[in-house]
Amino acid sequence: MSRALFARTFCCALFCLATLLVGGVACGAGAGEGGGDHNLPSRLAGPYGKLSPDPDTEIHEPIVLEDPQGELAYYGPSALFNADGSYTVYFTAEGELEGAHIRRAEGVDLAHDPSDVAVVLEAEETWEATRVAQPSVITPGILGAPLGLFFEAGDGNIGYVESADGLVFSRIGEGPLLEPEPDPSGPEGGAGLREPSAVWSGHRVLLYYSAGSPRSIFVASVTPVGDDSVAVSRLDADEVSPGRDPVLSPSGVVDSFDEVGLGAPFVSISNEVGREVFDLWYVGLDAGGDRTVGFAGSHDGLGFGRLDQNPVLPRGSPPEGDPCVVGHSTTAVMFYTQGAGDARSIGAARYP
Amino acid sequence: MTSSLGLRGPLLAAGVVLVPALLLALLGGETDARANPMDAFGLSSRAISMGGAYTALANDVSANYYNPAGIVARGDLSLDIGYQIAVPVLKLNGRNVGVDHTRGLTAGIVAPGKVGPVRFSFGVAMFLPDERISRVRAMPRVQPRFVYYDNRTQRIYLSTNLAVQVVPGLYVGAGVTFMSRTEGDLELSGRISFPDPEAESDMRLDLDVDLKALRYPQAGILWEPLRWLSLGLVFRDEFVLEMVQGFRITGDVVGEGGGGTILRDGFFGLTSLSTNLYQPRQVAFGIAVTPIPRLIFSMDVVWAQWSRFINPGSRLEIDLDLGSFNDLVDMESQPPPPHPRFRDTWTSRLGVEWLAYRSTRAVIAVRGGYAFEPSPAPEQTQSSMNLIDNSKHHISVGLGFSLSRLIPQMDRPMDIDLHFAYVHQQRRIHRKEDPADPVGDYVATGYVISAGLTMKLRFR
């Protein structure tokens, strides 16, 4: 083989290989789908889409929890994610005759009816009257039990109980954890405290609740004292301004979804870069009386800013409330109350 | 050529290469993000295994990228063919975001010539991805993306150059690099029924996509003043690959069941303009010394003008003509994407080659390299911007086999070079100013592994 012949042969081989590769490319052989957009960071703020009706499931999407007899209103969910992929949901069951109590549903999986529903807390104390409602669970409890549960009781008190098994709860202290301010001219307006949401922040629990008129969201700090009691102190969201301020007030913006009132906070904390970031889902009330869910965030748990893309559940009937979000890295499920009055039940929505 | 400095000269020069390189590596601040596949991963195994410090060493086919002047330095007819693959594992908050790997064929040729006393060479080098020649991709403006890799390495690369020998030891070269650019238009025209568009609509779809070439110049000087010393200087110009995607609907809106024409010749147009790829203007200076016969040190310092980087986020232009219904439509115009505030960068590269074994039939070279690329991107604190980039530490190793008389007809050795490179992405934290930012804080980490081989044939 001469040198020139070898060079020509080599060039021909190169050309053939290149042709094959170009042909492969033209046919799309071996090409991936185009990555770089998997597992992207997200606050899981929304928007959320309600579960779509599916004839193959046992539930009536988007409703995941409802009274089989249709006699009780189910509302105010607080959910925990289980290792088997299902959820344990604590919620309020309320009827005309029996008042409001708290139940636990096991095995909620967004496709089947719960495997078990049990009553876990009923009104017993005078300050609870006939009503314990709006549970908010934390793990672990403030005094060391595996589970703690805050709840709304009576005429606007907030109570706290702990449990070793999630079924039997023991009350902490004699009276309510937090009562309405005695001074009606105070920042909470002497009104009842509603819809508690608790979250661990360092060595304390931050307890968010709605109060005041117009209704706004306030926060208090709860810390253990000894082995069997807790101390609560209300926090001022803005220490610069006089008086104690809520962490979030109605926007006052005409036609906004939260123009005239806020409530039902749900707070979670993430910490990706060494600082806590607070995620707050809440219910906004517009001037027409409609309510839906929005999102706000904070770097200190006190001063919150609203998401530009609010609300995170589409506005419209039926009204939604009491959000509770369970995040899974880059996806999330929101449990919420759908409907009003006795027709309330618990629905679910997904992100994204 | 002989050295007038004796042995001290090469050793001093080696120090001149090593000390600044180490200082730059140690003191380099934040910066990086480059563009085409060659910028990101390099070209040819020998150059990559020497950390990309090749501006003053390039005298083969890879000189088409590293220093166009180098293609005339040898005076051989050279053919290169190789294959290289780079696999990024880039993570946000500890989770792999799945940036595509880049793999493909590298090939090139250098053809020497002579006009009177003037020696010249013509060279071509290409990278042909075996997954896709080019990719069109537009992402939401706020979506986090690794700007250095992302879509940028998913394209064909072709560089052509011409170099001349000015005097023995001094070479100049220049050329043009071609990149692919994609434009696409989608047009729907016809009749749309109202209120149920499924009922009596009659629409025609036209799709028009062009793959266009885009060019940018480069030029270089290679000077070999002493037998043990060579210097190189290269300029690569800035270029921007813009992606234009158009979507247009034209037609009449008619009522169902012969309800008459509601709107005649209505028009809705949406054009998305985004920067699909940006390469900064670059100036690279390189120095290579051979302090002892079997050892080569090389160093590059590269300045890149990243301060002119353009935000790749889409800019939408909307055009609408609904006749008498125009007053009913109020579409807010989208503000332009924010300025990315990138900074110019200085990258330092260091390479070494040791001829570990040498006989009449074979030479085996062991190579290593290190480079530090600071990131030009600032911390991503703005709510509407997530252009992620990390400073990079490149560590590379390689082997070279030069085989003589493998084929009797070949009067030059055949070279086979292998490389393996690891690019460590320096951990970087991004904290958002807006407490309600929907993306939130994140940590960017990761690495890129690349490997490849190059076969070189040379003919007298």
Q: What is the pLDDT of residues A249-279, one digit of tens each?
A: 999 999 899 999 999 999 999 998 999 999 9
CB A223 within 8 A of CB A231: yes
Confidence of residue B5 (pLDDT cuts 50, 70, 90): very low
Cross-chain Cβ contact A7/B93 below 8 Å: no
For position B214, what pLDDT does the model report? 75
**CATH T-level topology, domain A4-351:** Tachylectin-2; Chain A (2.115.10)
Q: ipTM for the complex?
A: 0.86
Q: Given CB atoms, is A27 within the 8 Å cutoff of chain B? A: no
Rounded CA gap, B113 and B75, in Å? 8
Cα–Cα dist A325/B233, whole Å: 58
* Nearest CB to A273; choose among B96, B149, B443: B443
Contact between residue A305 and residue A299 where contact means Cβ atoms under 8 Å apart: no
pLDDT tens track for B145-161: 998 887 666 677 889 99
Q: Where are the domains of chain A?
A: 4-351
**Residues B40 and B34: beta-carbon distance below 8 Å:** yes
Over residues A177-202, the mean pLDDT reads 90
**A66-80, A205-219, B168-182, B440-454: which has the minimum mean pLDDT?**
B168-182
Confirm whether B167 is domain-assigned. yes
Nearest CA in chain A to B460: A3
Record: contact A21-B105, CB cut-off 8 A: yes
Q: Is residue B3 assigned to a domain?
A: no
Q: What residues 281-320 of chain A have any CB closer than 8 A to a CB of chain B?
A: 295-299, 303-309
Give me the pLDDT at residue B294, please: 94
At A29, give phi and psi (nearest 5°): -65, 130
Query: Model confidence at B441, in pLDDT bands (50, 70, 90)?
Result: very high
pTM: 0.84
Which residues on B lie below 8 Å from A308 (Cβ)? Answer: 436
Residue range B380-384: mean pLDDT, rounded: 88
| Across B163-181, average pLDDT | 89
Return the minimum-mean-pLDDT range out of A225-229, A261-265, A278-282, B162-166: A225-229
**What is the tally of structural domains in chain B?**
1
Residue A215 pLDDT greater than 80, yes or no: yes
Q: For residue A117, give both structure tokens.
A: 């529903």
Instruction: Please compute the mean of the pLDDT values over residues A323-330 and round it to a whole number.
Output: 93
Confidence of residue B13 (pLDDT cuts 50, 70, 90): very low
Beta strands in B116-238 (DSSP E): 118-129, 145-146, 157-167, 170-194, 202-226, 229-236
Q: Residue A329 has what pLDDT?
A: 85
**Residue B17 confidence (pLDDT):** 41
| Residue A40 touches partner B, C-beta closer than 8 Å | yes
Per the model's pLDDT, the better-predicted residue between A2 and B243 turns out to be: B243
Asked if the C-beta of B40 comes within 8 angstroms of chain A's C-beta atoms, the answer is: no
B215 touches chain A (CB under 8 A): no
B222 part of a folded domain: yes
Task: Pick B409's closest partner by Cβ from A1, A37, A40.
Answer: A1
| Gap between the Cα atoms of B28 and A172, Å rounded | 58
Alpha carbon separation from A253 to A257, A285, B386 (Å, rounded): 9, 12, 29
| pLDDT exceeds 90 at position B37 | no
- Closest CA–CA distance from residue B266 to any residue of chain A (Å): 30
The CATH number given to whatever domain includes residue B421 is 2.40.160.60
Q: Which of A34, A35, A39 sits opposite B95 (nearest CB)?
A: A39
Share of chain B above pLDDT 70, in %: 85
B123: domain range?
24-459
CB burial class (10 A; 0-12, 13-18, 19+) of residue B19?
Answer: exposed
Please give the average per-residue pLDDT across A72-85, as a whole number: 95
Distance CA B194, CA B207 (A): 25
Instruction: Identify all chain A residues contacting B125, using CB atoms and an 8 Å cutoff.
Output: none
Q: Which of B97, B99, B130 faces A21 most closely, judged by CB atoms?
A: B130
A15 pLDDT band (50/70/90 cuts)? low
* A17: closest CA of chain B, how far (Å): 9
- Chain A neighbors of B429, CB-CB under 8 A: 273-274
Q: Which residues pair with A291 in a beta bridge?
A: A285
Nearest to A21 among B128, B150, B457 (CB): B128
Check A42 against B129: CB less than 8 A apart.
no
